[in-house]
């Protein structure tokens, strides 16, 4: 199942007691439409305030309803900030997370001198002029396979900090500056720390290269964690 959602009012994807989450809303909708308690397997766990243009999950069901009817039924009962736009049958051993071959994130920065009310909660407002070509040059140094400990928030429990970044770039679209990164996987808050580091380097708050920060494996050498509002899970890749 493929969906998109506005993460502004969610405490992330994963179910949490007494909190509004995307997983909980989707499970309640499936219960209403299919009459089953679904055990969802997700491609990722987005944090509070993070959005998704493409998010994938899977579940087993005994329902015989056609997939197009499932989409229509779920969208009829889901809240306005979640929409399903794809649904298909997969092999019995398919897993949305473990079969995922990579993800692409986009981070949006509103680079207008005055704030934009239509992007409040959907982009970071950064009023100082941004040299996107300089940021793009910095961002290219993220490409490769490295231990990204410097770009991981505390509390991460994964066994390996090594990830591969296939592509990383910064471009401008009018007053929007867009940071895009495609990799095989990402650590806790990794993309937001990457963005915060680039902006700190741009402002002269960090006087060393991205490569030297990566090599240090020291979170204190990297920049601030950019706010969640500008982050979007943009694409999820499978075979």
Active site residues: 47
What is the token pair recorded at 39?
Answer: 């055990």
Q: Could you tell me where the beta strands, DSSP code E, fall in the chain?
A: 2-5, 41-42, 51-58, 82-86, 102-110, 124-125, 144-147, 162-173, 176-183, 231-237
What is the token pair recorded at 213?
Answer: 């920060």
Cβ within 8 Å of residue 126, ≥6 positions away? 109, 110, 111, 177, 199
- Please state, in angstroms and rounded to a whole number, the distance separating the CA atoms of residues 161 and 149: 6
What is the token pair recorded at 224?
Answer: 């601030």
Residue 142's CB is within 10 A of a number of other CB atoms, namely 24
SS3 of residue 141 by DSSP:
helix
């Amino acid at each position: 199942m493929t969906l998109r959602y506005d993460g502004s009012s969610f405490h992330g994807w994963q179910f949490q007691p007494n909190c509004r989450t995307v997983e909980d809303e989707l499970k309640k909708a499936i219960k209403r439409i299919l009459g089953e308690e679904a055990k969802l397997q997700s491609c990722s766990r987005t944090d509070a305030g993070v959005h998704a243009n493409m998010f994938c999950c899977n579940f087993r069901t005994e329902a015989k309803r056609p997939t197009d009817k499932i989409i229509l039924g779920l969208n009829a009962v889901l809240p306005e900030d979640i929409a399903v736009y794809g649904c298909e049958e997969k092999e019995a051993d398919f897993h949305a997370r473990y079969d995922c071959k990579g993800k692409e994130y986009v981070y949006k920065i509103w680079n207008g001198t005055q704030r934009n009310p239509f992007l409040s909660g959907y982009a970071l407002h950064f009023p100082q002029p941004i040299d996107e070509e300089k940021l793009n040059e910095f961002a290219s140094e993220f490409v490769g396979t490295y231990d990204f400990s410097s770009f991981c928030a505390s509390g991460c429990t994964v066994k390996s900090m090594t990830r591969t970044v296939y592509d990383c770039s910064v471009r401008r679209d009018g007053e929007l500056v867009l940071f895009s990164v495609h990799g095989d996987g990402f650590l806790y808050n990794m993309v937001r720390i990457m963005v915060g580091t680039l902006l700190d380097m741009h402002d002269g708050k960090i006087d060393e290269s991205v490569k030297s920060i990566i090599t240090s494996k020291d979170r204190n050498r990297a920049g601030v964690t950019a706010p969640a509002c500008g982050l979007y899970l943009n694409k999820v890749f499978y075979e």
